[in-house]
Amino acid sequence: MRKINVFDTTLRDGEQSAGVNLNFQEKLEIAKQLERLGVDIIEAGFPASSQGDFASVKAIAQTVKGSSITGLARSLERDIETTWEALKESAEPRIHTFIATSPIHMEYKLRMTPDQVVENAVAAVKLAASKFPQVQWSAEDASRSDLAFLARIIKEVIDAGATVINLPDTVGYTTPYEIGQMFRYVSENVPNIDKAILSTHNHDDLGMAVANSLAAIQNGAGQVECTINGIGERAGNASLEEIAVALQIRQDHYQANTGLTLKEIKRTSSLVSKLTGMVVPNNKAVVGANAFAHESGIHQDGVLKNKETYEIITPELVGVSSNRMVLGKHSGRHAFKEKLQELGFNGTDEQLQRTFTAFKDLADKKKDITEEDLFALMTEATVGSAQTHYELETLQVNYGTTNIPTATITMKLPSGETVQEAATGSGSVEAIYNTLERVIDEPILLMDYRIQSTTAGRDSLAEVYVTVKYDGAESSGRGTAHDVLEASAKAYINAVNRTINRKLFNEQRTNPIKV
């Protein structure tokens, strides 16, 4: 049984999804959960792209030791030096450098000849190999590259020190048959290919990212690059959970496995969904809400007689549990702490106390507390604990079908002063946001507003995601509460606080990254 290395790029390629903007603490929490899942390699970011990415990659490299941490770098000396500074304290420093190899990219984007591309790639890999024990080199747009040229440049970069060769389908153009041909060609025509691991990285523009990844594995790939929930720019990337479960369920066919702790899949999916604001579709394979639901009477009858009639994946395999009550309002702090640790909580005592207080408040309002509820509270406490500048203290909304909706809000300002304001709107949420804008006393444009529930039932927690434009920058925010309107207010304030924190972070690092 071949072991396939899992290279997760949720924090780099996944974060490039439109509207996704993870902060420092959120990236760190996702990285720790990916380590818990058993991911072999975590691509933590692109260190040379910004001060924020550099700091996040460095912090993840210093914290996560169970997975190899890597950072993306262009074939530029500055990128490689910066990536080394970010990753030199990791357990296994690893770099991912790349250059485009397709005719269209070389001519129109790089404006380089094939010989110049080879020279550039070799120089970059040699520099990287002088610092990093593991060097991954990617042929950007490999699926649209000339195969003979691909074989030539791969041989040269392996001689220069590359230990992993990645052949990405950058624009989601290829088919399973074609990608299989490409991997076979490289395996048969690169004389030193035995000195490197072949890797596959596929985008989902034509809906074939997972199929292409599996076809590459069948044809020699020893590493697969993917993201949680398949997020990523444009139509996204190959979905980690779908590839991992496909290899597990069809070991007879693929003769390969990932070694991941599959029961952590659902928890990882939920965390990424909550922090990115990208809702998992109900019919999403493996982790969607309907993945283990049976509506048809014929299906229900079959499952009752023998689950294997219609259920090839058991919910327990990926960590899906029933929404039974796990704790109640009489549960003590010790039992609560043990349950949170079982769910992967590793926060501070202050965060634990904050979560416990929120749990007790929720237990007074909601009869059945589920794991999803606890996970939502836990996430709010551990990654919502960044510095707050505006803080909601009280909220009151007056609404009636014949009255003008009015919101009255008491809020603590960055100065420490507490103010109270009121405003009207055409609806309750608009009234709240008009009031908050009046308190903040600066124009704020609401660009997106979404709401969902943590579980089924009328007493479910509400989760609200917003995108606002404030102080010249777009920022996302989220809020969780038993009441929809309170969650809406929290999400709006969270977006403003995130914008201020990002501005302060950038002001503290006005000089270029020095290496």
Binding-site residue set for Mn(2+):
13, 201, 203, 237
* C-beta separation of 268 from 228 below 8 A: yes
> How is residue 513 annotated by DSSP?
P
Dist. CA 436–CA 471, nearest whole Å:
15
The number of residues making up the chain comes to 515
Smallest Cα–Cα separation from 464: which of 281, 269, 277? Answer: 277
Q: Where are the alpha helices (DSSP H) in 406-470?
A: 428-440
The conformational region for residue 232 under phi > 0 = left, psi -120 to 50 = alpha, else beta, is left
Burial class of 285 by CB neighbour count within 10 A (0 to 12, 13 to 18, 19+): middle
Reduced DSSP (H G I as helix, E B as strand, rest coil) percent helix, strand, coil of the chain, to 5: 45, 20, 35
How many CA within 13 A on the CB side of residue 468? 28
Do β-strands 406-412 and 418-424 pair in parallel, antiparallel, or remain unpaired? Answer: antiparallel
Phi-psi region of 95 (alpha: psi -120 to 50; beta: other; left: phi over 0): beta
**Tokens matching residue 372:** 């999803």
Taking a C-beta distance cutoff of 8 angstroms, is the pair 406, 438 a contact?
no
Q: Where are the beta strands (DSSP E) in 115-237?
A: 134-140, 164-169, 197-202, 223-226
Q: Which residue has the tokens 């549960």?
A: 331
> Between β-strands 223-226 and 5-8, what pairing exists: parallel, antiparallel or unpaired?
parallel
Query: Of all helices (H) and strands (E), which one includes residue 327?
Result: none
β-pairing verdict for 462-470 and 473-481? antiparallel
Cβ neighbours, 10 Å, residue 25: 17
Q: How far is Cα 90 from Cα 65, in angstroms, rounded to an integer?
A: 7
Q: Report whether 168 contacts 141 (CB < 8 A).
A: yes
Rounded-to-integer distance, Cα 72 and Cα 201, Å: 14
How many Å apart are CA 296 and CA 310, to the nearest integer?
11
The DSSP element (H or E) to which 335 belongs, if any, is: helix 333-342
User: 67, 94 in Cβ contact below 8 A?
Assistant: no
Q: Give the tokens for residue 248.
A: 């597990």
- Binding-site residue set: 13, 201, 203, 237
